[in-house]
Chain A
Amino acid sequence: MKDMAATDVKLQDIAEFLWMEADLLDRRDYDTWLDLWTEEGHYVIPVDKEGDDFANRLNIAYDDAKMRKMRVERFQAGFSISSAPPADSVRTLSRFVIEGAEGDTVTVRAAQHVIEDKFGRQRMFAANVTWKLKVTEDGFMIRDKVIRLLNSDGVLTSISYLF
């Protein structure tokens, strides 16, 4: 897979990729989602609202490739009562901003709203999400994804799907 210069990418292409990712997650097509990732990056949901030294802080999720795979296996195996069945989710992504581009990597942030439904009750999460995307000849790959929940350091509820 050949790398491309990230400075040439268009917002429309990025939005299409991230909406595709959002659609995969709402449909819980996690195997396809795992394939969007490069091997080295992290899927992070920090507790702290500030700072980015995630390795030295307690996070809600801090997943390297191995943990991402294990997380998906847990969801799919059918033995986790919270995810068998999980809450249904509908998410919206908007307010895309390209923060910068360097080499083969473009950094994008966006607003995300997720509404989940289970047991006849609905819960809502709002988040600022930042992606570091690797630009390749065949399209984008996710290098890092940081989901900053609006209430990350507050009292949450259990979550049975991915943001």
Chain B
Amino acid sequence: MSLDEFPSGPQTDELMKGDRVATPMYEDPALFDVEMERIFGKSWVWVAHESEVPGKGNFVLSWVGTQPVIVSRDRKGEIHVLVNRCRHRAATVCEIKKGKTSSFQCPYHGWGYALNGDLRAIPYSEGYSDDFKKENFGLKKLRVETFEGMVFANFDHDAEPLEDFLGNAKPWIRLFMKQGGGFPVKTLGEHQFKVPMNWKVQLENTTDAYHFPIVHKSFLQSLDGEATETFSFMDDDDGYVEDLGNGHSVMVMMPELIDLDENLDAPIPERFKELAAELAEQGYEDEKVRRIVRAVGGCGFNLNLFPNAGCSLSFFRILRPVSVNETEIRHIALGMDGGPEVANQMRMRLHEHFQGPMGFGSPDDAEVWERVQRGSAGAGDVDVMVNRGLGLEKESQNGLPVGDISAETGMRAAYKQWKKVMDQ
């Protein structure tokens, strides 16, 4: 139906101009519908972390674009992503956010589904003729692949393998997961908030260092001297933003924290000394203490994965498009599975300090994003500029652009992929 609005498809050349994007990118409901079909209907979309479904029978609800899905782990330990919609008359078969079960039963007429989505039981099955085959009416299944504990799903069963799609982002994901400090990474809970904005405003923001000293001035003022130093990346000259291809990009804010397994002999920062002392007292060996303490604040970069996930310093940042001007954001806190309680407590306190509906950072992000949506209602003929750093970029080992820390290289990378997928 939405395609009727664009008889020959949306004119992506007029919407995405390389260094600028046109206002309808944020404002056009018909374009949003096409994005849901062509991007969220055909790309690898982040749906969960494996630690959310740790054991057999565990499930968690999630979304792929505007579609509700269940992420479940069956009795063999295999993860499935199923559309949360009964094949009979469309009711959701699960409304519990997270839990453990042996099956999903539709509350309307009692159709029962296994953890892998297969239709198992129908009440009063004699009402169907012999040519009704249960095997044809399982919950709709998405393709599922995982990488380093992150679960991705794709409606397109012919899509390239997940690892090919992640491509140059893979080594960065491996680096990001080192913040387990020698333990597996697990989720520790999450903040969720809705912002009246188009989803691409968030997509742009994960590799936007330019806004940090402006929007987050009040957060920076709440830090002590040493931590302020850590967040001074706009004034340092060693940070950068790199296009990783396929819409992914990385913004390196603190190059000294790229690899958390390195520099373990460096002096322990003042603000982590108390934690180090406590861990030593608990009997952790010096090397272990150093590894945990170095990992506790997260790594020094934001990795943006097209179209909906960010591995951001110390947490997952997941976006969900709701409508052309509504987007839900999840900030999922991460910790050390089986690691010391005091370290995980510190991680949660650091997360609460910046993230979520009442953090010292996120509400200010939400405010400016809403301002973008409100402002883009005016002067529809004026473009949104993402040209910062153009003409100043270098080339990476991958042959892709690298800009300085505040360059809009990551946004251009995402919009390049946007155009490629929309044109397919």
Contact = CB atoms under 8 A, between A and B. Distances in A.
A58 B194 contact: no
Q: DSSP class of B's interface residues: helix, strand, loop or mixed? A: helix
B222 A158 contact: no
A159 B341 CA distance: 29
Given A79-B218, A159-B358, A154 B363 contact: no
Interface in A28-50: 45, 47-48
B189 A58 contact: yes
A74 B360 contact: yes
A138 B208 CA distance: 51
A22 B104 CA distance: 45
B328 interface: yes
Contacts of B97: 153
A52 B233 CA distance: 38
Given A60-B357, A61-B352, A74-B360, A156 B192 contact: yes
Interface residues on A, range: 20 to 34
Contact of B221 (A61, A79, A82): A79
Interface string B208-234: 000000010111011000000000000
B191 interface: yes
Nearest to B218: A80
A159 B357 contact: yes
B367 A58 contact: no
Contact of A82 (B194, B328, B367): B367
Given A119-B374, A159-B358, A74 B193 contact: no
A155 B352 contact: no
B338 to A, nearest CB: 14
Interface in B355-373: 356-358, 360, 362-364, 366-368, 370
Contacts of B360: 70-71, 74, 80
Given A119-B374, A158-B357, A82 B189 contact: no
B36 interface: no
A57 B193 CA distance: 18
B189 A155 contact: no
